[in-house]
A = this chain, B = another copy of it.
Amino acid sequence: MHRTKIKVAEDALDANQTIARANRDDFDREGVRVVNLMSAPGAGKTTLLEASLSDLGDVRVGVLEGDVQGSMDADRIAGLHIPVVQLNTHNGFGGECHLDANMVRSAIPDLDLSAIDLLVIENIGNLVCPAEFRVGEDVRAMITSVTEGEDKPLKYPLMFRACELVVVNKVDLLPHLDFDVDRLLANIETVNPGAQTMLVSAKTGEGVAEFRDWLSGVPSRAGAVA
């Protein structure tokens, strides 16, 4: 006697999850590890990438730039002679405030995956919605800058919780701010116990080597859930 097979449809019905898995399959096939990098607008994603990507040793890196519109950040990355693809949500994706798996999928044909080992996806500057959409990445990292206030992990917990790494940027400005780094780190620990943190200044270079090492060592989660 055959039993009826009951497919648990929950995951399958989530189109974003389905497409994220397809992206992962493509990345895995080419041995490309993928970082989804997120932050509020102006926290310093592009500046940190400029400071770190040009010296990754043997690791061949590519960048997917997410923006509502324009290509200012992609142009900056291209200036480093790093392959970069601009993905705008303004045209075709309703000006969305985040990247999702389908948008990333639309850009994959423009990426030569065989020519890179590491893909950094620079998400749209936003502390809310990007955390809700897996895009097929291995790891998620975020930047919070010390000019944004120590309270941000408590106000945007989903974002801080979603990320394996929280980079604390603009530490060169600490002498000029009323900012308690320990309080920020405690707030991060509250919402995401055990999260890795890193104090950096993309401007002065402080801590950038540590971020570079982290990028070089991003583990592949091949086969893991996208």
Contacts and interface: CB of A to CB of B under 8 A. Distances in A.
Given A68-B155, A95-B158, A147-B147, A125 B42 contact: no
Contacts of A177: 173
Interface string A125-157: 111110010000000000001011101101111
A40 B125 contact: yes
A89 to B, nearest CB: 9
A24 interface: no
A127 B41 contact: yes
A69 B149 contact: no
Contact of A149 (B42, B68, B70, B152): B42
Interface string A147-188: 111011011111000000000001011001110000000000
Contacts of A100: none
Q: What is the copy number of this chain in the assembly?
A: 2
Contacts of A225: none
A48 interface: no
A96 B129 CA distance: 8
Contacts of A68: 128, 155-156, 158
Interface string A72-94: 11000000000000000000000
A129 B173 contact: no
A124 interface: yes
Interface of A: 40-42, 67-70, 72-73, 95-97, 124-129, 132, 145, 147-149, 151-152, 154-158, 170, 172-173, 176-178, 203
18 contacts: A40-B41, A40-B42, A41-B152, A67-B155, A68-B155, A70-B155, A72-B154, A72-B155, A95-B128, A97-B128, A126-B126, A126-B127, A147-B147, A147-B173, A172-B176, A173-B173, A173-B177, A178-B203
A-B complex: 5 closest residue pairs judged by Cβ atoms: A42-B148, A97-B128, A147-B147, A40-B41, A41-B127
Given A68-B128, A173-B173, 14 more contacts: A40-B125, A41-B127, A41-B148, A41-B152, A41-B156, A42-B147, A42-B152, A70-B154, A73-B155, A95-B128, A124-B128, A147-B170, A173-B177, A178-B203
